[in-house]
Structure 1
Amino acid sequence: MTTIKTYLTQDHRECDKLFSDLENHVAQKEWNEAKALFEPFEKAMIRHFEIEEQVIFPAFEQKTGFVGGPTRVMTMEHQQMRGVIEGMKGALKEQDRNRFLGLSETLMILLQQHNMKEEQMLYNMIEMHLKEENDDLMKEVVNR
């Protein structure tokens, strides 16, 4: 079975692709296409956040006792990104290209920094500490 790190990193790439496609349609003022892509993008992002917040992070915290450490920071960043995504939804509904693209630029910066911290540090820690739990956790993740 795939590792937590491999799965979550690949999930980042899939969310990035949806985000890029969405942003490109808004930039071209292709509103129908953008609206059709927004829901899958939002669902993918929220699903990713929830997998981490409800499955992976609690297991890591329980195993290591690192409550309030790196997982808390990542969760706070998720909250910040949720707010930006909500703003993007409103801008898309209003077909406000400039507002949408400004918010998407903010989200891109947040995502790049966030994903780098997860992929280069936190996922390695998670993989190291949850090696024995990997298969059970992945079953739970895949069934979400």
Structure 2
Amino acid sequence: MADPGTFVDYLTADHRDSDTLLAWLQEQADAGCFAEARAAFARFRADTLAHFAAEENVLFPEFERLTGIQNGPTEVMRVEHGDALALIADVSLALEEHDANRAHGYAEALLILLQQHNLKEEYILYPAVLGAAGSNAAMLSARVVQAREGTVRPDLQP
């Protein structure tokens, strides 16, 4: 794996990839290419679930531990993750039913939700976590990336 920089760089790139996949999914559904739309959706869903898991299992708890803030920005992010998961289920059902209009609409709503969510993470939460981590930022970044990629190294665990 190449050096991803900080978790901020890595997760921000993940956000952009997510936007691209959702746009591709919409194009394919609009064109009636449901096999391609479902393939894009499957990748989007897997990537999004892995991204959320890295945040909820590593990044958010570390922010809460470092700052003592339990019901602040991380709670808002978790609620928004739940909202996104509900829309992901809606997109999935629309694609299964070959309903291009619903698939496009739910994907558009999901894209808007995630773009707003991602701005809050990228400009508020991620910098706050990075600042709170201080000299441990590199280790935290490695842990977040490994959690996102589904790998765990015991030497990087707290």
Q: Does the residue aligned with 1:29 lie in a helix, a strand or coil? A: coil
Amino acid paired to 1:141: V
Count of aligned pairs: 144
Once structures 1 and 2 are overlaid, which stretch shifts more, 77-86 or 112-121?
A: 112-121
Q: Does the residue aligned with 1:131 lie in a helix, a strand or coil? A: helix
Counterparts of 1:102-113 in structure 2, within 5 Å, are 102-113=105-116
Which residue number in structure 2 is paired with residue 54 of structure 1?
A: 57
Are the structure 2 counterparts of residues 52 and 21 from structure 1 closer, same or farther at C-alpha, using a change threshold of 3 Å? same
Q: TM (normalized to structure 1)?
A: 0.94
Amino acid paired to 2:76: V
Q: Separation in 2 of the partners of 1:124 and 1:46?
A: 22
Amino acid paired to 1:9: T
* Structure 1 unaligned spans of 5+: none
Q: Separation in 2 of the partners of 1:72 and 1:27?
A: 35
Amino acid paired to 2:27: N
Q: Separation in 1 of the partners of 2:92 and 2:63?
A: 32
Are residues 1:87 and 2:98 paired? no
Counterparts of 1:1-144 in structure 2, within 5 Å, are 2-143=5-146, 144=150
Amino acid paired to 2:7: I
Report Cα offsets for 1:23-55 as digits up to 9, x if no partner.
Answer: 111111111111121111100111111111000
Moved over 4 A (4+): none
Q: Separation in 2 of the partners of 1:5 and 1:40?
A: 22
Q: Does the residue aligned with 2:135 lie in a helix, a strand or coil? A: coil
Q: Separation in 2 of the partners of 1:52 and 1:32?
A: 30
CA RMSD of aligned residues (A): 1.2
Structure 1 residue 122, shift from structure 2 partner = 1.0
* Structure 2 unaligned spans of 5+: 151-158
Q: Separation in 2 of the partners of 1:106 and 1:114?
A: 12
Q: TM (normalized to structure 2)?
A: 0.86
Structure 1 residue 140, shift from structure 2 partner = 2.3
Q: Separation in 2 of the partners of 1:32 and 1:130?
A: 43
Structure 1 residue 116, shift from structure 2 partner = 1.0
